[in-house]
Structure formats: structure tokens, C-alpha cells
A and B are shown apart, each in its own frame.
Chain A
Amino acid sequence: MAGAYSPDAFRMRQDRLLVQRLLAGDEAAFERFADENFTGLMRFALSRLSYDEALAQDIVQSTLCTAIDRLEAFRGESTLLTWLCGICHFEIRGHFRRHRRRGQEVELDDQLPESPAVVDGAVAAGPFVALQDKEMQGLVLIALEQLPERYSEILQWKYLEEASVKDIAERLAVGPKAAESKLTRARNAFRGAFESVRKGTGDGGFEGLRLGAQEGSD
């Protein structure tokens, strides 16, 4: 759903304005920044760090401080969450590189771009094959975070829990047609959000994301 007035373009505009207000010291802007991004960022980090909560918290804290320091560099070419996850990606890479230098064992396949993983099925075509499983997972998580909560829930009910339309209708307390309609809208919204996240990061995944003057924190 490209175009100046798509929901994703709207979100990017909102994020640009939010960053301006953050730089101006607006407390309400900080509250909004935290409410809209911190949970999604933690989820992204957890998914990349084998759900190690303590490590994810350290990485995310470092990410947020780096992001605050570089706020002026945010151009609004992606959403703020995508930008934050990009910084987080480099923080994670730096962490594992430091551990590798110290001789600690690291699962290279999932974390470093030098060893692309195999992606099967319908997503194997074209540029997707260049992205690792973990990176794709990260992009999907970001896209889901940017949906209205109800849409994200519906998609998880349908594709993770294998809920039928009837089940979904009961959970939503609506009729089957209304549930089908909501499921269709949720799918379309996810497609738009995922495409937007992909555009924001480029075909190179997070490696292609422009973050500002410095890219990594190795």
C-alpha cells in the first residue's frame, strides 16, 4: 500500500513529529515514545537472543541510550520501531563478535550475516533468500508490533493456534462473516506493514538500514 497517505506513511510522519518533540524535551512525547516502542523492541531482542531476558534487557538498554544519542539522525525513512530494531541488530552483532573474540562459543548461523541460512517454502524466492531466518523473524515481529493489537491477535489465533473462523468469531463475540472480514483486514494490514518494514530496511535486511553517523557499536 504505497503512497503518501498509506497507514505506514502516516506512521512514519507521526514518528518524525514525535522525534522532533523528543528533541524539544517534551515529556508527553517521551511517554509516547516508551509506550509505542519499548515492548516491541524487547520482543525483537528476545527473539534474536534465544529468549535470554537478562541479556535482551542489557542489549535493549544499550540500544535505547544509543538511539537517544542519535535522535537527530532519524530521518523518518522507516518507522521509529524499525530504526530502533536496526540499532538493536548492530548491538547484538557487536555483542556476539566480542564474545567470539573472547573464545566463547556462539551460534554463528543465526546471528551473523556471513552465514546465510536456508529459508524454505513460499518465502524462499528472490531477495528473501538473502535474509536469514532470524532477520526475517525480526521483520515479521516488527510488522506485527505495528498493527492494531486486535489484528495481531487474530493473525496469531489463525496461523499459530490454527483457530477456525468459527473459533475466531466466538473469541471476538461477532458473527462468522464479521470474523472473516476482520481476518481479511488483518491480513491486508499485515501485508502492508511487512512491506513497509522491508522497504524501510531494504533488501539487505537490517544491514541495509541507514541509522546515522555511526552504524555499529562493536
Chain B
Amino acid sequence: MADIDARDKGSRDPSPEAAISESAASESATTEDQVASLIRLAGPKPSVSPQVLSQLRAKTQDHWHRKVARVRRRRQATRRRWLAVAAAIVVAAGTTLLWSGRGPSDTVAVATIARFESVFGGNWEAPEQGLVPGAILTTKPGVRLALRLDDGVSLRLDGASRAVLDGPRTVTLEQGGVYLDTGPVDGTAPGGSEGASLEVHTPFGLARDIGTQFEVRVDEASLQVRVREGQVRVKTAAASHQATAGDHLRVAADGTVERRREATHGGPWSWVQQTAPTMDLEGKSLAAALRWMARETGWRVDYESAELAQEVEGILIHGAVQDLRPAEVPEVLLPSSGLYSALHRGSLKVCASREPCGAP
């Protein structure tokens, strides 16, 4: 708004280019006067009748449908011309061509970029054409979604949120919160393309990661980024900021940035854990289950000894363990393997006997 401020100073100063030093109070009063003048000039917003809007919508939509149909017909005509040219070239080259007479299909299938995994707290209807670029995701308060992008990235949308899947690695968050995990899914193959950043665009800044778990949250006044693992770069109008695991960055609408340190488990991460898609544990190692648990809860797994850690890799899970929640892994799977655990300040200690763990 520097331009307007300079012009306003010019109206009171003979030389608009002259440097004017004023107190902050009088400068902001001038700005307020200017805003006041402009708002009063515009006057009250005229009301618009719903009937008029409805008529405009219907006729415009009709016009738009005709345009889209024209554009598609032009594209098909262009494809047929190219095919005809190709056929002519092949025939001219002396090759026999069997032309079926069927032209290109009327619609071009758009590749999906994500699949829906689960909904929590209510119902949600996926778009008919699947999760293609441009798909809008909207949740009501209390309803959360879990999706999987095509390259394995886990995306979870909090309640009362609205996001757009712009592309395979680009999301726009307009309101609410989104959590992304671009790291290993089951402790073996990583999800997401290593080295390729995932971007979250918001009105107040852009968050970009490489191999990370992080949450982005937007409201009318701020952008907040919490990092659980890895690093995120946040670009705003004024500057670029790096956030690492445990950082909570808050960027206000006026560009000011606050940074504080937080635990990477519990509290604000609870909704993420609640929306974790279940893992098919049948035949997987107990160690893999614990890694999945750690990833979803933010807990660190500490083994009593290196030998125990090795042993746990070889314990395979069999039996009815469907729909197991991440936080249930210690109490459901460890006892049946003859192991003990104790959770203290975000660290889960796994032991071969009760005493070292201090387990009850």
C-alpha cells in the first residue's frame, strides 16, 4: 500500500516526491481516513435478488456447455484429421491399413492423482470422476478424510476444511487443516518420490517439503505450519522460513512470524492419529507394525537392546488384527509376543521383561 500512502502524503505536501517523516499514529490515521473515504464513496452494497442470480446462472451455464461442446468437437475433428493424415501416409507407403471406422472417443479420460482411503466422523462422497487434478475436498466440522496420493503420500484433511488437489504434488489449502506424510509407509518402501517437493499453497504463504510429516492450517488471519519430521520451507510475501521437526510457525496476515517448539506427539497431532488409515498387518513383522505406530503417533521406539530390536524384526504377525489403531499396537501385539512396553514422554520402551521397562 506504499503507493497510496505516498499519494495521500502528496495531497498535503506541495512536493509528492519529498520525503515525509511522520509519526506512526498520524500515518495510520491518514490511512484510515483514506479507507473511510473509499468505503463511503462506494456506499452500501446493492442487494441482488436470488431470482436474478438463478437466471444468470442458468443462461451462462447453457452458454458454457455449448462452448465446451464446441471445443471438444474441434479437438476431435483435429484428431480425426491427424489420423487421416497418418492413414494416408501409411497407405502411401504401401502398407495395408484396416480402418475400423471408429473415431476417437468423445471424452478424454483424465488420470486420477489420488484415491480415497477413509472418512472419520461422518459421510463423504467422492467426486464422480474420481480424484483428478482440480478435485475440491470439503469437510464439515467433525468429519475428516484420509487420502493416498498416487505416489504414496498420505494426505489427511481435518474437519471444517477445504482443499483443492491441483496436481500430483500440489495442494491448495483454503481453510482448515491438512496433514501430509511423504515418508515411509510400512517402514520399507518410502511413499512419495524422494527429492520431489510437495507444495501446499495458502493465502498467506507456500509450504514446501522434502521427505516430511507436517501439518498446514489456515484461518482468516494466519497460516500455521507444524513439522513432525523432516523440514519444511515456508515462503511468504516478505521472506522465506525454514521449519524443522518440533517447530510450530505462525505467519500472521500482516507477515509477522512467530516460532515456538512443541512436542511431535499428542495434543495438536491427535486428529492426525485418529485419521490414520489402518494397516494390513497380516504377515508383516512386529518391527514394521511398531514403525507404523511410531509414524502415526509421533512416539519414538526404544528397544531394551540391539538384540531385541533384531529379534522383533523376525516376529511375524498372524491372526485377526483388523482395524487396529496405531496407539493400540503396544497393548495388543506386544503381550502376545511376550514383550513389555512403557510409554513415557513420547518414548515407547520395548523390553523382553517387565522390570527394565518399569511396566505395571
Q: Are A47 and B42 touching (Cβ within 8 A)?
A: yes
- Chain A residues positioned under 8 Å from B6 (CB to CB): 126
B38 within 8 A of A: yes
Complex Cα distance, B34 from A1, in Å, reads 17
Contact status of A53 and B60, CB under 8 A, knowing A191-B1, A195-B1 = no
Bound together, the chains give a CA A28 to CA B55 distance in angstroms of 18
Q: Is the interface of A mostly helix, strand, loop or mixed?
A: helix
Taking a contact as CB atoms closer than 8 A, the residue among A2, A64, A133 that contacts B60 in the complex is A64
- Chain A residues near B7 (CB, 8 Å)? 125-128
| In the complex, chain B residues whose CB is within 8 Å of the CB of A124 | 11
Our pick among A11, A17, A26, A39 for the contact of B48 (Cβ within 8 Å) is A39
Please tell me if B43 contacts chain A, counting CB pairs below 8 Å: yes
Mask, B198-211, CB within 8 Å of A = 1, is: 00011111100000
Q: Which of A1, A14, A123, A125 contacts B172 (CB 8 A)?
A: A14
Given contact pairs A4-B237, A14-B172, A192-B1, A123 touches B35 in the complex (Cβ within 8 A): no
* Residues of A with C-beta under 8 A to B110: 24
Cβ of B103 under 8 Å from chain A: no
The answer to whether B43 and A160 have CB atoms under 8 Å apart is: yes
Q: A122 and B42: CB pair below 8 A?
A: no
Q: Chain A residues near B242 (CB, 8 Å)?
A: none
Can you list, as one digit per residue, whether each of A121-159 has a CB less than 8 Å from chain B (1) or not (0)? 111111110000100110011001000101110011011
Among residues of B, the one whose C-beta sits closest to the C-beta of A192 is: B1
Comparing B64-72, B153-161, B309-317, the segment that makes contact with chain A is B64-72
A17–B63 touching, CB < 8 Å: no
Q: A1 — which chain B residues lie within 8 A by C-beta? A: 1, 237, 255
Residue of A nearest to B110 (CB): A24
Report the minimal beta-carbon distance from B294 to chain A, rounded to whole angstroms: 33
**B93 within 8 Å of A by Cβ?**
no
Closest B residue to A7 by beta carbon equals B203
Segment from B25-33, B117-125, B142-150, B324-332 that makes contact with A: B25-33
Cα(A191)–Cα(B42), bound, Å? 14
User: Given A23-B71, A43-B46 in contact, is the A140-B253 Cβ separation under 8 Å?
Assistant: no
One of A87-95, A98-106, A182-190, A206-214 contacting the partner: A182-190
Interface residues in B, total, Cβ within 8 A: 65
Nearest Cβ in chain B — how far from A2, in angstroms? 7
Given A159-B40, A188-B254, A194-B38, the answer on whether A61 and B46 have CB atoms closer than 8 Å is: no
- B44 and A156 within 8 A (CB): yes
| Residue contact B41 to A187, C-beta cutoff 8 Å | no
Partner of A68 from B43, B48, B63 at Cβ < 8 Å: B63
* Binary interface encoding of chain B residues 43-76 relative to chain A, with 1 for a CB under 8 A from any of its CBs, else 0: 1111011001101110111011001100110000
CB distance from A99 to the nearest CB of B (A): 22
Q: A140-B41, A159-B39 are known contacts. Are A51 and B60 too (CB-CB below 8 A)?
A: no
| Chain B residues packing against A (C-beta within 8 Å) | 1, 3-4, 6-8, 10-11, 16, 30-46, 48-49, 52-53, 55-57, 59-61, 63-64, 67-68, 71-72, 110, 127, 134, 136, 164, 166, 172, 174, 201-206, 220-221, 235-238, 253-255
